[in-house]
Amino acid sequence: MGEKHPYLSVVIPFYNEEESVEGVCAEVAEALSGFNDREWELIMVNDGSSDETARIIDELSNMNGGFRALHLSPNSGQSAALHAGFMAAKGDFIATLDGDGQNDPRDIPVLLEELGKRGVDMMCGIRLKRQDNIVRRVSSWIANRVRAAILQDDIKDIGCAMRVFRRECIAGIHLFRNSHRFFPALVKMKGFSVGEMPVNHRPRSRGVSKYGGGINSRLWAGIADLAGVYWMRKRAFSYTVTERHEA
């Protein structure tokens, strides 16, 4: 890592994750240590945390040239934190994962390689053996099926934060509160191609979930947001343009 233009930007939102920050960032560095001599950067986004998260990511950025610390004020939600990270990212490709340690950073180069093999613009993870409590699994199961039926986006696991995509995918994407749940659908609405593949999902080893909440916030709020995305999809432009020149 250095001052060169990075090939990959890894964006991780953190909200009151003082127990997990150092471990997650160390795993990212280890996973990308043999990254074919390509430059990469890690963008740590502190989403208005009230614990020691801000101090920890500042210390990490001071010790590592390729680590960057962003601070949101006030706490603005996971979508806002991701948006801030995307706007700051310099890489040709962008990867995302959650800051709680449940996503496995070793999946990043695997997703990136598969993206190239398939020739798609975005690769999303599918958590085949999801390590979450019953409320999170059931509410996500229902919301996934309602979303798929309405948007017809063919995305199997909209809640998996492990994604890799070309930076062009964020051009023209208007993120809003909770829109991270629909990010692949929004990317497809812009005409980009999206693929999926299985990824590792691990039990949370430190702390408790800060983003999300109970069934009301995870299910009903998600369905309410779905109405907005459906409205956008129905009114999105869909055309091709050909310019002919007279001989």
| pLDDT computed for residue 195 by the predictor | 96
The total number of structural domains in the chain stands at 1
Q: Is 152 exposed, middle or buried (0-12, 13-18, 19+ CB in 10 A)?
A: exposed
Q: Choose among 233, 125, 225: nearest CA to 188.
A: 233
Of 80, 39, 41, nearest to 61 by C-alpha is 41
Q: Is residue 193 assigned to a domain?
A: yes
Q: Would 148 be classed as within a structural domain? A: no
User: Is residue 220, in this structure, part of any structural domain at all?
Assistant: no
Residue 53 sits in a domain whose CATH number is: 3.90.550.10
Q: Answer yes or no: is 135 within a domain.
A: no
Tell which wins on pLDDT, 205 or 79: 79
Terminal-residue alpha carbon distance, the chain? 52
In a domain, 107, yes or no: yes
Residue 12, pLDDT above cutoff 90 = yes
Give 88-125 pLDDT, tens digit per residue: 999 999 999 999 999 999 999 999 999 999 999 999 99
How confident is the model over 51-78, as a mean pLDDT?
96
User: Domain for residue 240, yes or no?
Assistant: no
* Residue 44 lies in domain: 8-129+157-207
Question: Is the model's pLDDT at 148 over the cut of 50?
Answer: yes
Name 94's Cβ contacts closer than 8 Å, sequence gap at least 6: 8, 9, 10, 11, 86, 164, 165, 166, 167, 169, 170
CB 10 within 8 A of CB 42: yes
Q: Do the domain assignments include residue 140?
A: no
Instruction: Tell me if 216 is assigned to some domain.
Output: no
**Percent of the chain surpassing pLDDT 70:** 71
